Structure 1
Amino acid sequence: MNIIKNAGVCAPLGFSSAATAADIKGNGSDKLDYGVLVSMVPCEVAAVFTKNNVKAAPLIFAKERLTSENKIFGILVNSGNANACTGKEGLKNCRILAEEGEKVLKLDSNSLLISSTGVIGEQLPVNKMKKHLRELPELLTGYDEEFAKCILTTDTRTKRLAVLVETENGAYVIGGVAKGSGMIAPDMATMLSFITTDAMISEENLKNCLNSAVDESFNSITVDGDMSTNDSVFIFANGLSGININTEKHLREFQESLNYLCRELAKEIVKDGEGATKFVTIRVKNAFSKDEAKRCGMKIANSPLVKTMFFGEDPNWGRLMACTGASLVTMHEDKVDIYFNNLKYVENGILIDKQLEKEAAEIMSEESFTITVDLNTGNAEAEVYTSDLSYDYVKINADYRT
């Protein structure tokens, strides 16, 4: 597997994208906020959506289209308006825009999906969006930086990546873009990710691979513990490389490459977390089971007390112990060891030496560091990724709509 520099969803064969400024929020902005990702040929498609019981209209619309025998060519995406909590009109607006997109892009009926992100509870400015949608065919290109920009909300930068996977029969590419900065929690959050590949893969294998990749990437990150209404990860496979990967060996290679791509995009979301100054890996090892390891890690990663401790660069290990116990996993207080990077700070549930505090604080002064909790109750482990909680997070979200 090789990384392709400055590339994303248009790196695989046959994919193109476009973006335009539709002023969806209605504040006179010329920010890119409306785009399309499309394949030359129909794709096998798989998706993972938020587990929130309140699901935005685009998710309901996409699920309907993916459970029918439709040939899917691509997806329309907007930022600035989530089209969530918008009732029947919101779903109707998805259909109107998809139909208009299929018309102007000269695609089959029922072949476009919809994805949205932004403010909840407001109807889409459909007439304005239809007008700007007609600009997209002329803007289609094999370069995806503008598409990556049009999906951003409070993000400070684009997030995209592509990898080349070589096999004995030839090579194929996997590319991806993502957005996300706040409302990031397990079972996804205000994040969208679009992944493409030109590998030939069955729908069932594609679904299985995506579910596995999402579990250890997008569902292993947290910024603020809030779950959104619009979280979606889509993967489109058009097979244009001609490389059939529906064998055990090739699927294993594909899974490893997809895992890597999703994990790196997920890490970028955490690093770009709203107001974040720290990127922290929480590693829980020697747990009774993988599920328990992840549950313990997420309990620590989501704790406001722990996250403010990261921001203050204070090695208050008691908060880590308290969260470990509060996760209700199999553990014994007198067996727990805690490390700051490679510095063993706590052994058998007791601080080793107060003189180590300065060294631990120096580790926490770095932009990235790892906290390891060794439960010593089994042999399972998991990693999750989190950020600190700063003053700027409050400022950003206090006036989000304005």
Structure 2
Amino acid sequence: MKKINLGGVTTPLGFQSSAICTDIKGNNSAKKDFGLLVSDVPATVSATFTKNRVKAAPVIYDMNLLSEKDEFFGIVINSGNANACTGNQGLKNTETICQAFENKLQLDNKSLLMASTGVIGVQLPVDKMLNYVDEIVDELDDTDNNLAEAILTTDTVVKKSAYLVETGNGAFVVGGIAKGAGMIAPDMATMLAFITTDALVDKNIQDEVLRLAVEDSFNSITVDGDMSTNDSVFLFSNGMSGISVNHSKNLELFKEALKAVCLDLAKMIVKDGEGATKFVSINIKNAKNYEDAKKCAFKIANSPLCKTMFFGSDPNWGRLMATIGSAMIEFEENKVDIFFDDLKYVENGLLISDDLEDKAYEIMKKDSFVITIDLKAGNANKTVYTCDLSYDYVKINADYRT
């Protein structure tokens, strides 16, 4: 498996995209905000969606279509407006926009999906958006920078990744783009991700492989603990490489590549967290079971006290101990070890030495570090990725609409 420099969602064979500025938000912005991803041939689609009980219109629309059929030609995408909390009109607007692109591309109805991100509670400016359908379709090509930019909201950088996988009978590619910086929490951490492959994948296999990849990537990150109404991950496979990954050896290679793309994109989201200055891995070892490990990791990763401690580079291990205890999992306080990177700071629930504080402080000053908690309660492990909580997070979200 080889990472492709500057690779993304159109790197696999047969995928094209485009995006332009349509000022969806109505603030005279020059930012690209409306685009399209299409496959030259029908692609098998798997997806995971937010578990939020309040779901955006495009999420409802897509879930309904995916319950009816497996193959689609692509997806319409916009930023600047989430089309969430918009009632039946929001669903009608989603369908109207998709049908306009389907007509332009000479596709059957229900051949395209849709994803949106942005402000909640505002109807899409459908009439304005429909004026740009022809231009978006006419500008389709096999580069994805415009689309990768168009999906961003409070993000500061484009997020894309792709891998080439060599097999005994040829090669296939897995690539993707994502957006997300705030409202990031487990269970479809506001984030969107679009992943493509030119491998040939059975639908049932694809569904399961995506679920596993998402669990260890997008569902293992948190910026602020808030779950969005629009979170979605889509996987399109069009089989144009001619390489089947449905048997054991190629399937393992496909799993590895998909997980690598998902994890790359997920980590980019955390590193671009709103106001973030630190990327922090929370590594829970030897919990009684996986659920305890996950609960403990997220309790630390979402704790405002712990996140401000990361921001201040303060090795306040007492905060960590208190947070572990508040996770309400099974462990014994007098068995816990805590590490900052490879520095063992706490052993059996007690600080090893005051002399270690300066070393721990230097570790926490870095842009990226790992906190390992060894609970010694079992053999289950879980790693969660998070960031610090800075002054800028409050500023960004206080001014989000204004």
Superposition TM-score tier, normalisation by shorter sequence: over 0.9
Q: 2:45·2:71 contact (CA, 8 Å) conserved in 1?
A: no
Aligned to 1:278: 278
> What is the 5 A alignment of 1:26-175?
26-69=26-69, 71-175=71-175
**Contact 1:57–1:86 (CA<8 Å) still a contact in 2?**
yes
Give secondary structure in 2 for the equivalent of 1:80: coil
Tell me, in whole angstroms, the C-alpha distance in 2 between the residues paired with 1:363 and 1:7.
Answer: 32
Relative to structure 1, the CA distance from residue 3 to residue 70 in structure 2 (aligned partners, 3 Å threshold; closer, same or farther) is closer
Aligned equivalents of 1:378, 1:127: Cα separation in 2: 58
Is the 2:22–2:129 Cα contact (8 Å) retained in structure 1? yes
Whole-Å separation in 1 of the counterparts to 2:342 and 2:4: 32
User: Is 1:295 aligned to 2:295, yes or no?
Assistant: yes
Distance in 1 (CA, whole Å) between partners of 2:189 and 2:183 is: 5
Aligned-pair CA distance for 1:71: 3.6
Structure 1 segment 205-284 matched on structure 2, within 5 A: 205-284=205-284
Q: How does 1:177-216 map to 2 (within 5 A)?
A: 177-216=177-216
Runs of 4 or more above 6 Å deviation: none
Cα offset, 1:108, TM superposition: 2.2
DSSP-derived class of the 2:79 partner: strand
CA–CA distance in 2 between the matches of 1:330 and 1:285?
Answer: 13
Q: What is the percent sequence identity of the aligned residues?
A: 60
Q: Which amino acid aligns with 1:134?
A: D
Question: RMSD of the alignment, in Å?
Answer: 0.8
Residue 391 of structure 1: aligned partner: 391
Correspondence for 2:378: 378
- Amino acid of the structure 1 residue aligned with 2:345: Y
Separation (CA, whole Å) in 2 of partners of 1:142 and 1:53: 36
TM-score using structure 1 length: 0.99
- In the alignment, the residues of structure 1 paired with residue 304 and residue 68 of structure 2 have an alpha-carbon distance, to the nearest angstrom, of 43
SS class of match (2:397): helix
Aligned AA for 1:157?
Answer: V
Provide the C-alpha distance between the structure 1 equivalents of 2:149 and 2:69, rounded to a whole number of angstroms: 32
Structure 1 window deviating more from structure 2 (106-115 vs 271-280): it is 106-115
Residue type at the aligned position of 1:329: I
Shift of 1:106: 2.0
Match of 1:314 in 2: 314
* CA distance in structure 2 between the partners assigned to 1:39 and 1:190 by the alignment: 25
**What amino acid is the match of 2:331?**
M
1: CA distance, partners of 2:235 / 2:350: 47
Mapped contact 1:151–1:179 kept (Cα < 8 A): yes
TM-superposed CA distance for 1:286, in Å, is: 1.0
Distance 1:383 1:107 in 2: 43
State the aligned residue count: 402
Name the CA distance, whole Å, in 2 between partners of 1:244 and 1:7: 22
Give how far 1:251 is off: 1.4
Stretches of structure 1 that go unaligned for 5 or more consecutive residues are none
Contact kept in structure 2, 1:313 and 1:364, CA below 8 Å: yes
